[in-house]
Each structure stands twice: as structure tokens, then as C-alpha cells.
Amino acid sequence: MSPFAWPLWLMLLAIVAGAARNASRGPALGYVFSFLVAFLLLHLYGTAVAATLLRHAGAASLALALVLALEGIYLLGVENLWSRLRRKGALEQPATDWLAGILIGLGAPFAMPSLGGSAALASAAALGNAGDVPEALLVAALVGIGVVIVLLVVGHVANLIASRLPSGPWPRRVAGIAMFLVAVALALGWVG
């Protein structure tokens, strides 16, 4: 994975830090595996699905920026419509859940389509455009699985560190700031 994929790692770290103590693995796993599904669909070269998704990648990237900004504001504790939809009880602390992890994971491949595997993905595109869709899918799947393995390791280490941090609102607030910063970077076109 390329160092240009830092927003992908930062989103995962923010999801882990923003999750509730008893549910920190659920949002991160939802993020990682929904990322893989969206990545494979986006890179299913030689099919109408990939062509349609690639045509709308800019809009999906902006939608991801919106979700990240709303989730970041929610984690900062600012009351808004998103926080009212997300919070179950009035006294409940804001926390990232599996739904937010899945939504962010589904949008991440649109914001960072190549992830440093551009040579492999170019080969997959050439195979798919030549009519070898299964081989193109295999190459894209290998790139996607490589990214997922790195994300699972980063998420596991982040979860171990987060479990050792003292309980309080600060990890969630830092996660909210991180999500908001990635949202701004996406909206301004600095990422992707």
C-alpha cells in the first residue's frame, strides 16, 4: 500500500478510537470488509457495473466526505440531525458504530481508487477490457486482499492501543477531528 493511502489508515484509526469500549472491533471490521466489497465492485473491469461506478466516483467521494464530516461532528458531541439519528439514549456518549464503519468503508475505494497498486490495477483493466473478466477480478482481488490484510493489522494494533487508553471523551473527540480533517481533504480534492 502506498503512503498516499494515509486517509484510509486515518479513517480506520478514527473508527477504532471513536467506537464504544465494548464494540470497538465491530465498526472496524465493518469498515474493512465493506471496503473490500466496494473495491472489488469498483475494479470489476470489463463490466457495466465498474463502468457505472467509475462514472460516479466523484459523487461517491463527496458523499464519503459528507458522512465523515457528519460523523466527525457527531463524535465531537455537537448536537445535530445526524447525532439525533445515531444516538439511542439522551445520556449516551457519541460513538462510531458498525453502520458508520460500513458507510465509510463503502465510500473509501471511490476516494482512493488505486492505493499504490496502480500497475496491478492497470493490468487488471487491460485484462477486463480484453474480455478476461475472471482474470481481471483475480488481479483486483489480490490487490484488495493485500490492502485488507494491512488494514486488519493496523486495526488490531490500534484496538490494542485504544483498549489501554483511559476511558473518557478525548479519544472520541480526537477521532471526530480526524474524520473531519479527512472530509475536508476529500472535499477539496487533496486526496484521491
**Could you report the per-residue pLDDT of 145-185, keeping only the tens digit for each?**
988 998 899 888 988 888 887 777 888 899 999 999 999 98
pTM of the predicted model as reported, rounded to 2 decimal places: 0.88
Q: Is the pLDDT of residue 188 over 70?
A: yes
Average pLDDT of the chain is: 85
Q: Is 90 exceeded by the pLDDT of residue 116?
A: no
For the chain, give the DSSP string: --GGGHHHHHHHHHHHHHB-GGGSHHHHHHHHHHHHHHHHHHT-TTSHHHHHHHHTHHHHHHHHHHHHHHHHHHHTT--SHHHHHH-SSTTPPP-B-HHHHHHHHHHHHHHSS-TT-HHHHHHHHHHHHTT-HHHHHHHHHHHHHHHHHHHHHHHHHHHHHHHHSPSSSHHHHHHHHHHHHHHHHHHTT---
Per-residue pLDDT, averaged over 3-25, amounts to: 79
- At 49-78, the pLDDT tens digits run 989 998 998 899 999 999 999 999 988 888
Q: What is the mean pLDDT of residues 30-47?
A: 91
